[in-house]
Structure 1
Amino acid sequence: MHLYLHIPFCRRACHYCDFHFSTNLTMKSTVVEAICKEIELQADYLNNKELQTIYFGGGTPSLLNINELYDIFETIKKYYTFSDDIEITLEANPDDITKERLAILQRFGFNRLSIGIQSFNNDHLKKLNRIHDGAQAEGCVKLAQDMGFDNITIDLIYAIPYENHHIWENDLARALKLNVPHISSYCLTIEEKTVFGKWLQLNKIPPINEDFASEQFRILVDTLESARYEQYEISNFCRDDKYSRHNSSYWKRHEYLGVGPSAHSYNGVSRQYNVANNVAYLKAIHLGQVPADYELLSKEEKLNDYILTGLRTKWGCNLVEIEKLVGNEWRIANHAILTKYFNSKFLQLDNQTLTLTRQGKLFADRIASDLFLI
């Protein structure tokens, strides 16, 4: 089983981010107390009480202090046991990573760091409104490695508008020099409620150029494959089977519990979505209520979730699994669409498993939605 904790606080709002967070840190300890209470309220959500992974996301969970971490782990241990090879991940910003902080994380059992670098280029970092600079980004990874963290992933963003691909190529070159086992890379998207979204409406920035983004994706895949990274999910690359076990659990439809404002959970039958509002979250928890909307999943919704997530991975979608969910209905309904994507070399079938081709990965969401059972 798997546990996700959403820590909804950041020192500064990045211009592209539409995740739920607050830059008002005065409520941080109160929200942490409520998260501990929610773990208690949700104690029966997962049938299996042994955790394989724990993931601290946000927001910026590297803002948690030692007392907050202690309270969270003590609460988790009241209701769950840890597998011998548990993966415990912390998302961290480079500016939060110090020798002292890393030592604290090791004491609590963190064995995987997800570092939000995004770019090594100082102009791009300023454009994104990140706090750190390129030198800090490199330095924090090397410090973590020197401290004994060997399971590190870094995040990079591509398709940041520029006149050519030189900055992106340099970002990738600097990333490879760090010799981390895992890299996640995401295309810049401009969401309506972000700073970039508002600037786009005011014509202060251009929209994302799809051709430019596609070429940077090609450069990403070529560069990382040449450096022996395996693209096991569209946005995720690793060496030596250092997959993100936590994120892979989502893509493989394993059960997980998410706690904290805006966190999601899945138990194989339904999904629940916590309220994305810190004050509303606190009020509900104070009343002993889980502040979530629940969705009982139909067979069609289970299938569509499988198509959407499975096609993004190297493991694909198994036709036998699809038939277990909906019988022959899906194959019959999508015969013409499947034929079209096979002929265009966007989809391939091997050993009863559907996967996207390299070209098909550029259109993953569109292909998945075309294959949904409605």
Structure 2
Amino acid sequence: MSGIYLHIPFCKQACHYCDFHFSTSLKKKSELIEAMRREIVLRKKELNGPLETIYFGGGTPSLLDEDELNTILSQIRDQFETIDDPEITLEANPDDITEDKLIAWRRAGVNRLSIGIQSFFEEDLKWMNRAHNAEEAFHCIELAKPYFDNISVDLIYGVPGMGMDRWKENLQRFLGLDVPHISCYALTVEQGTALDYFIRKGKVRPPEDELADAHYQLMLDELQEEGYENYEFSNFGKPGYFSRNNLGYWMGKPYLGIGPSAHSYDGSSRSWNVANNVNYIQSLQKGELPLERELLTKVDRFNEMVMTRLRTQFGLNLEEVAHEFGVQIKDHLMEMAGPLLQEGMMETKGDILQVTRKGKFLTDGISSRLFLLNLGD
């Protein structure tokens, strides 16, 4: 099974924290969609097996009109085999959601909505420079529920000035909406963003790891008490509502990225498209793929397996490590994990090595301590 990701690089306005590739000008939208259709054709042989997931990300895919969405999906269905019930996700901003759009998305085949709420509080939304307000954050979900059973909400934690009480209230407001999935991300400062500039100029306080950790621990308690499983570090779902797209990434399934800045992975290499709309369009108009490709070494593949699997509740299968990389590397892994096991940051359950609750917030750092530098390690 495999997946396809489509990057729609347009937004109404720039959120202060965002470093994804996007444009606030829609002038090239029709040309870019045609270029994406051409890329789909040129790369149709890169995936083996039927598509399990189709994911519209960005940017703001909810800016697409019905014809634009349908023309992309039609091209995918023409070029790729899909399973009987592929998960088709569309990221949407609250201010774009109307009843007419919801009907159009369902009609096109979209069966999962990922809604970028980020916070249910007006002061947070203004601080982030989001295009919607707190009232729209609530209203859009109630509007969507008659049309979509599979809905996910995004929230951001670790925001300076967001105390424990307000973060808990954010979670309680989410829980009151009875939505089966939530993705929560710690606020990070990316170089070149407005947030980075404001912090360097002393206009806003930088995020604090201690606050983000406290928010994360509270989130684990609140969501798990209500039946949400933390199946991946940032993702919580009710049983039957885990994102197949998200799991595909973390479990190492191949995926194809279409659109400017989109990344692809086939198990042995990674590629990424140019992060420039004009260059992307011009290359596809000439029948050229605007991408760079990197062949992954054995060390790269091992480190990626460690990094991705440890973020999930399923952990790292030691027998799979031995099969893919050899018993010697598996033994080296366990030797490196020894101090982390003694500290209670990790544990083993049969052949599974995983991060404990104590180490969960430090998962990425734990993974890096287990990385190989070369095959002589």
Is the TM-score greater than 0.5? yes
**SS of alignment partner, residue 300 of structure 2:** helix
Gaps of at least 5 residues in structure 2 are none
1:147-296 to structure 2, matched below 5 A, reads 148-162=147-161, 164-296=163-295
1:62 is matched with: 62
Residue type at the aligned position of 1:231: N
Q: Secondary structure at the match of 2:145?
A: helix
Is 1:304–1:372's contact at 8 Å kept on the other side of the alignment?
yes
Task: Identify the residue that residue 312 of structure 2 maps to in structure 1.
Answer: 313
The aligned counterpart of 2:15 is 14
Distance in 1 (CA, whole Å) between partners of 2:324 and 2:359 is 25
Tell me the equivalent position of 1:343: 342
Paired amino acid for 2:223: L
Q: Which moved more, 1:183-192 or 1:62-71?
A: 62-71
How many residues are paired up? 372
Cα deviation 1:315-345 (Å, max 9, x = unaligned) = 1111111112221333443444311000111
Aligned to 1:360: 359
1:81 Cα shift? 2.5
- Aligned partner of residue 223 in structure 1, secondary structure: helix
Deviations 1:169-218 (A, max 9, x none): 11111000011000100000011111001111111112211111111111
Contact 1:6 1:58 (C-alpha < 8 Å) held by counterparts: yes
Distance, in Å, in 2 between the alignment partners of 1:365 and 1:7 is: 28
Q: Secondary structure at the match of 1:125?
A: helix
Q: Which amino acid aligns with 1:67?
A: D
Q: What is the CA–CA distance in structure 2 between the aligned matches of 1:259 and 1:86, rounded to whole Å?
A: 17
Aligned-residue sequence identity (percent) comes to 45
SS in 1 for 2:27: helix
- With normalisation by structure 1, the TM-score equals 0.97
Contact 1:231 1:314 in 2 (8 A): yes
Code of the residue aligned with 2:174 in structure 1: it is: A
Structure 1: which 5+ runs fail to align? none
> Residues of 1 paired with 2:346 and 2:69: CA distance?
45
**How much has 1:23 moved relative to structure 2?**
0.6
- Distance in 1 (alpha carbons) for counterparts of 2:84 and 2:188: 38
Q: Give structure 1 regions of 4+ aligned residues with deviation exceeding 6 angstroms.
A: none
Counterpart of 1:90 in structure 2 is 90
- Shift of residue 270, structure 1, vs aligned partner: 1.0
Cα pair 1:302 1:325 within 8 Å, conserved: no
Q: Is the Cα contact below 8 Å between 1:34 and 1:282 reproduced in 2?
A: yes
1:164 and 1:184 mapped to 2: Cα distance? 20
SS at match of 1:26: coil
Give the whole-Å Cα distance in 2 for the aligned partners of 1:257 and 1:163: 37
1:328-339 pair list within 5 angstroms = 328-339=327-338
